[in-house]
Structure 1
Amino acid sequence: MDRKFNSFKGDRDKRGGGPKRYAAPRPKQSSLIIGRQPVMEALNSGKSIERIYMLRTATGDIIPQIRELAAAGNIPINTVPVEKLNGLTQANHQGVVAIAGNVTYLDLQDVISHVTEQGETPLFLILDGITDVRNIGAIARSAVCCGAQAIIIPDKGVAALNEEAMKSSAGALEKIAVCRVNSLLKAIDTLHLNGIKVMTSEMETDVKLYECDLKEPVAVIMGAEDNGVYPALRKASDTLFRIPMAGNFESFNVSVAAGIILYEALKQRTIV
């Protein structure tokens, strides 16, 4: 589906997981918005911004305004030491550097309303703690191929949708709605209020994937391979299921698991 709304190993920064397996490359200089006023103008213009890096000790009248606009747009702000900013650019950054986004993030409720108004049955993915951009790109590609309409990500604890993510997705991230939220738990509440069932892929359960009804409106939570899905999100889910495996091996890669789940949904929805 085109973007007509607007016309399993990773680290866990918030849960103390193991060491990072994948380190994102340094942002291209052409993607940087450098300085207080340029960042402010970008925010006011509605330009897509992936993340803002702000000096921990930054002060001045414009700083609260930047924070307010960023919060309104669910744009994460990382407060960092000056060494981090100097590592991003040698220009006069004035304590503020933003990274221009490759994706236009959409409001979750707007996406739900659009999908249902089009007469489609929602099939969404929720990504929790997946920090390898290549996995996210591969998941997006499978999502588009299997008819999913949206991917929901948190504003923290997930890989930036940078140039490598776009490349890994083979353009799929431009063809699917991406909703960035400040709380996945609140996103689940929104999904429930709209009659969308939330399911979690979990190895330790008796329910098998093919026993689930994926013809109904559903959002599937996929977690990182090392820590799985955050316990509070599992608890908020309606169903826990697992992908049956022939052998006693560790698990599927998260992007492969997502592809299997999405294809099962496609099969159920297309077989008469």
Structure 2
Amino acid sequence: MALKKTSLIIGRQPLVEALQSGKAIDKILLQKNASGEVVHQIRTLSREHNIPIQLVPIEKLNGLTKANHQGVIAIVALVQYLDLQQVIDHVVSEGTVPLFLMLDGVTDVRNIGAIARTAVCCGAQAIIIPDKGVGALNEEAMKSSAGALEKIHICRVGSLLKAVDDLHLNGIAVYTSEMRAEKNVYDLDYTIPCCVIMGDEGRGVQPYLAKAADAFFKIPMAAKFDSLNVSVATGMILYEGMKQRMGVKSVSN
């Protein structure tokens, strides 16, 4: 998954052509109140490819380019976003057991970069992100990942809940953390196909998404201080997963 040089797609027709060709796009900046047949086509194509549209004032667009942008600029993605089902099929065809991450509301790009580093080091194959409400995989995220975002599959989906359904249909268990959970992180089985949902540090995993999970766990604390950085917590969880897959016994065994 090679890095792509950061660039902009300027103008309506160039963007339509890029969307139709399947070019990886991070997001589309569309001037407020922009209208017309081509704008409608852009909106339709963006929905089909799970590309978020951000409505912005014309001053924002003018600040990015002096060219005739026609009310629309797209930011080319630094990574190639992949289809979740295709990634599942690819991982399974290689004879490996899926170990995925799902990020719900993680907006700090440095955390995303750090999570990617840990994911690669611990053998996770994919990170699932929503098309909205997550930090952009920009230059800062790339730098924080130390190249890890080039080495792991990134799946961008329109609905995390639907992604959970797709995981279940493929026999992949879904785990999430819950401070009041009875089981500790090392009590769950990570040797089976599984995906761990990591939520925003403030609100955690959204209730509707947590409700769809198969099992809950907590990370035990020695002190009465339950505020872990999301990337640190992810490291603890994935290390337990790697340890189990290497056949190392947990403390509880």
Match of 1:63 among 39, 50, 66: 39
Q: Which amino acid aligns with 1:123?
A: L
Deviation at 1:32, TM superposition (A): 1.9
1:50 maps to 26
Match of 1:86 among 37, 62, 86: 62
TM-score (norm 1): 0.87
| Structure 1 SS opposite 2:175 | strand
Separation in 2, partners of 1:226, 1:255: 13
Separation in 2, partners of 1:185, 1:41: 31
Where in structure 1 are there 5+ consecutive unaligned residues? 5-27
What do residues 18-45 of structure 1 show as CA deviations (whole Å, max 9, x unaligned)?
Answer: xxxxxxxxxx9x5222211221222122
What do residues 179-235 of structure 1 show as CA deviations (whole Å, max 9, x unaligned)?
Answer: 000000000000000000000022222210011111111000000111100000110
Q: Residue 96 in 1 paired to residue 72 in 2?
A: yes
| Structure 1 SS opposite 2:211 | helix
TM-score (norm 2): 0.93
Separation in 1, partners of 2:112, 2:52: 19
Structure 1 stretches of 4+ moved >6 Å: none
**Structure 1 segment 16-165 matched on structure 2, within 5 A:** 31-165=7-141
The CA RMSD over aligned residues, in Å, is 1.6
Deviation at 1:80, TM superposition (A): 2.3
Q: Residue 178 in 1 paired to residue 160 in 2?
A: no
Identity %: 66
Ranked by relative contact order (alpha carbons within 8 Å, sequence separation 6 or more), the top structure is 1
| Structure 1 SS opposite 2:235 | helix
1:196 maps to 172
Deviation at 1:56, TM superposition (A): 2.2
Q: Residue 247 in 1 paired to residue 223 in 2?
A: yes
What do residues 46-83 of structure 1 show as CA deviations (whole Å, max 9, x unaligned)?
Answer: 22100001112112221121112211111111122223
Separation in 1, partners of 2:96, 2:227: 32
Q: Which amino acid aligns with 2:81?
A: Y
Q: Which amino acid aligns with 1:154?
A: P
Deviation at 1:241, TM superposition (A): 0.5
1:166 maps to 142
| Structure 2 SS opposite 1:179 | strand
The verdict on how the C-alpha distance between 1:31 and 1:204 changes in structure 2, with shifts beyond 3 A counting, is farther
1:261 maps to 237
Separation in 2, partners of 1:91, 1:50: 20
2:181 maps to 205
Q: Which amino acid aligns with 1:232?
A: Y
Separation in 1, partners of 2:207, 2:60: 32
Separation in 2, partners of 1:186, 1:95: 32
The range that moved more, 189-198 or 41-50, is: 41-50
Separation in 2, partners of 1:205, 1:71: 37
Q: Which amino acid aligns with 1:104?
A: Q
Separation in 2, partners of 1:260, 1:43: 39
Separation in 2, partners of 1:154, 1:88: 25
**Structure 1 segment 204-223 matched on structure 2, within 5 A:** 204-223=180-199
Where in structure 2 are there 5+ consecutive unaligned residues? 249-253
2:251 maps to none
Q: Which amino acid aligns with 1:129?
A: G
Separation in 2, partners of 1:169, 1:142: 9
